Amino acid sequence: MAIHPTAVIEDGAELGDVVVGPYAVIGADVVLHDGVMVGSHAVIEAAVVGPGTQVGAHAVLGGAPQDLKHDPGTPTRLIIGARNVFREFTSAHRGSSRGAGETRIGDDNYFMANSHVAHDCVVGNHTMFANSVAIGGYVVVEDGAVLGGLSAVHQHARVGRLAMLGGGAMCSQDVPPFSIAQGDRARLVGLNITGLRRGGLTDPAITAIKEAWRTLFVGELPRRLAISQVAEALGEVPEVAELLAFLRASARGVCRSALQA
């Protein structure tokens, strides 16, 4: 353990074998597991931080939710998994009293400078948030998604597994798994083929996803009929079934395709 003499560690904080830099502040209701590194002037409160996570200078983790109806007397948490990287000036807020009370971040995520995770969000594993990405409250970002610089996701929207948002994308609706979305308001422009290959998907699975995607987002069938047709033809392919389940579960609707009239 190495704690700089200018750091403030409040009574009640639970620290493993960690490194805490100059002028950092660790709140009383914080748990830092082994291997956590906290940079100078970082602030952590109401959070559990998993092993091997790096917290950059001036990052703020576990701050109060930006929810005007949040009851500050209700204890809520930020739960962070293992081996995450939070670069300088990133922020991730704890849950709101109006939601589940927890913001959850999985393992092996990379949050570049100035990116923000709002209250009650759920972030999976192996995602990447480029510089100045912001996701609103209750957003779900699934495993392996990549959010390009200055992109934003509306409250309650979802970004599917291995999806990619182009730089500056403004996503007011759900972005399906495996897709690329860009623009304001974001539209679907194709499949994230490079991401699928990096994600370990087989060639037959990628071929099936391409066929399903063309029917769903390029063809002229109404979405409900397109889903039924794809389910009948390709529903036994796990990745296609995942895509269809995502579409069926959408509450905010799905981003429109730029490839349809």
Active site residues: 119-120, 137
**19: exposed, middle or buried (C-beta count within 10 Å: 0-12, 13-18, 19+)?**
middle
Alpha-carbon distance 107 to 53, whole Å?
Answer: 9
AA identity, residue 254: V
The answer for residues whose C-beta is within 8 angstroms of residue 144's C-beta and 6 or more apart is 124, 125, 126, 127, 161, 162, 195, 199
Angle at 75 between CA 156 and CA 26, to 5 degrees: 100
- Let me know: does 191 contact 176? Beta carbons within 8 Å: no
Q: What is the dihedral of CA 65, 68, 74, 80, to 10 degrees?
A: -10
